[in-house]
Structure 1
């Protein structure tokens, strides 16, 4: 399958929103309790317009559709540290190179921007994928989504230098 990875734009917000809303519930259901998903999915399965238009968020197009998305942002304090952001692959396109294409693009672009280390707050589901892409686990963590709502994750890192 031929994939085009490009920066996302405001025109992609609806498609990425639909992708997140469709894929996350299906991909995460085997690794998270229903009680976690019922509170977290409405918060994590939505496109973030500011992120999609920041210039470091990308979509992967193939077969005439957006099949994946993800990006990175620079840490506010440590300018050489970047954070992997909101990576998703269409649940109908897993294991077809979409996630690898997005993350490879992120690694190249972040490195070119002077980032020397990337941090990722991985879902339990995606931990093996990030490990295969060179990230090392630093252990479990809780991501605060809203007051009283957190999401279990795995903190992972990769050096780019």
Structure 2
């Protein structure tokens, strides 16, 4: 892997480190785009779906021994959300010939942004989805992620959002890209 990063598939033993990275990423990186109430509400829908680990599609990226990023892809219908927000989980398998792979749960440690972490994970996830026969990928982006995904070739499909239990609205953007 370039830039000195190493990668491997996540295991359940990684859960404490993954959760800590995600908490820091949500709190610090979303705060550039959302007010504190919206950041709090975003925790309700963001996080890790352990199904990704169980499916072998979730990646940990390291700089030396430090976990600096994580993310993955899925061949299941669930588009986004963590274990705590998946009451409506859709575990059915997607048809690679007609449906888009899901890019899921992409997080970069706040101290390692703009160093190629997100791009490295996205490249690995897209290549794996393509190898599994998918021709397209889609994802649900936050406002913070939207510029990154647009630079990576994703285009906006529609805007929606999540109304948090505190009443705050968290904007979300459905984006897609052909896997060529």
Q: Same fold judged by TM-score > 0.5?
A: yes
Could you tell me whether the CA contact under 8 Å between 2:6 and 2:64 is conserved in 1? no
Q: Which residue of 2 aligns with 1:51?
A: 52
State whether residues 5 and 105 of structure 1, in contact with CA within 8 Å, keep that contact through their aligned partners in structure 2.
no
Q: Which of 71, 79, 87 matches 2:95?
A: 79
Secondary structure, counterpart of 2:55 in structure 1: coil
What is the deviation of 1:134?
1.1
Q: 5+ residue gaps in structure 1?
A: none
**Which of 124, 130, 136 is 1:117 aligned to?**
136
Distance in 1 (CA, whole Å) between partners of 2:120 and 2:95 is: 25
Residues 137-152 of structure 1 aligned to structure 2 (within 5 Å) = 137-143=156-162, 151-152=170-171
Report the counterpart of residue 100 of structure 1 in structure 2.
Answer: 119
Task: Provide the residue aligned with 1:27 in structure 2.
Answer: 29
For the residue of structure 2 that corresponds to 1:29, the secondary structure is: helix
106-115 or 6-15: bigger deviation: 6-15
Q: Secondary structure at the match of 2:33?
A: coil
Number of residue pairs aligned between Structure 1 and Structure 2: 159
Name the residue aligned to 2:43. Answer: 41
CA pair 20-105 structure 1, distance change in 2 beyond 3 A: same
Question: Between Structure 1 and Structure 2, which shows a larger proportion of strand residues?
Answer: 1
- C-alpha RMSD over aligned residues: 2.1
Say which SS state the counterpart of residue 66 (structure 1) adopts. strand
**Gap change, CA 1:145 and 1:113, over 3 Å in 2:** farther
Contact 2:26–2:39, Cα closer than 8 Å, also in 1: no
How far apart are 1:63 and its partner, in Å? 2.7
CA contact (8 A) 1:72 1:110 kept: yes
